[in-house]
Amino acid sequence: MTIAAIEHSYVEVNGVTLHIAEQGEGPLVLLLHGFPESWYSWRHQFGPLAAAGYRVVAPDQRGYARSEQPGDADAYTLLHLAGDVIALIHALGEEQAVVVGHDWGAPVAWVTAMLRPDVVRAVAGLSVPPILPAGMAPPEAARQHYGDGFYQLYFQQPGVADAELARDPASTFRRILSSGSGDNPATATPRPWIVPDGSALIDSVPEPERLPAWLTPDDIDAFVREYANHGERAFTGPLNWYRNIQRNHELLTAFRGRGIDQPALYVGGDRDMVMSLHGIDELLASLKTVAPKLHRSITLPGCGHWTQQERPAEVNAALLDFFGHLPGPAPARA
């Protein structure tokens, strides 16, 4: 990984200033991070994808890290987020891009592909398969399956998780990233993230005795630096994405029954918490129905939730294989 070769800049899209990290020349590949991450979660993808002839761009998405954080919680719907992706592609001077998303970035990628097949030429999702049309199960369904302690329901309380996560960002990143890692013995049987009644969110994920092999103290420091700009509100923008899950269902009702028309790829880990969620087996079994041009569905043994960080070599190989089978512009070669 050569972080120095990555260029940083800012782009205004839809009235919001986004920070982007960029490397390489060629067909555009847009990398969308998840929660609670930033462009840095793709640090292992920039060099290999750029070396293969692609222009790799990873934004800090709306509300995250170095990007602007709109104050209105209603400004974080999937329509806003998909709009940012389309506007960013055009702001970069391109008509189309391959869009790759992980965790929350995956629903953004899938939904953007569903809404704008003219702009998204191909789509890949890591960890989260396409849950169309609105990206995630609505809160009432989550409550029915997991109870009130389910983390997405806990996140609905304004200001509560915000303050807990911002109190000690280094501890927050150590706890959350380590708890979801395939190296954590607790993920041998993946389970939903549940906050016990009367407990704080942050106490439901303990401080690790040591970091997983794929995560270093320098990585933790990097995530902390990326989030420093927003101070006590560092996690409010990211949490506002969850506070729009119900609204996403309301806004995207008209798209029920729509699928993914473009070439698609799915990669997940068998120790990922997502694999424990209600209905995931059916979703994975129906991938070819939802995305008829599915290239591959890959399960990485022993991999937890942080797919591209935990298994960069396998993820990079899968992405490059996928890109190599796409019609359209060829990669740039030196």
Point out the residues that are catalytic: 103, 305
Look-up: residue for tokens 């899950």?
Answer: 245
CA distance 77 to 73: 9
**Neighbour tally for 320: CB within 10 Å:** 17
Q: Sign of torsion, CA 284 63 246 198?
A: positive
Q: DSSP secondary structure string, 63-119?
A: TSTTS---S-GGGGSHHHHHHHHHHHHHHTT-S-EEEEEETTHHHHHHHHHHH-TTT
Q: Where are the alpha helices (DSSP H) in the chain?
A: 46-51, 78-91, 105-115, 139-146, 151-154, 160-167, 169-179, 217-227, 236-242, 245-251, 280-285, 287-290, 307-310, 312-324
Strands 55-59 and 16-23, bridge-based pairing = antiparallel
**SS3 at position 137:** coil
Cα–Cα–Cα angle for 117, 101, 245, nearest 5°? 85
Peptide bond between residue 138 and the one before it cis (omega within 30 degrees of 0): no
CA distance 33 to 62: 11
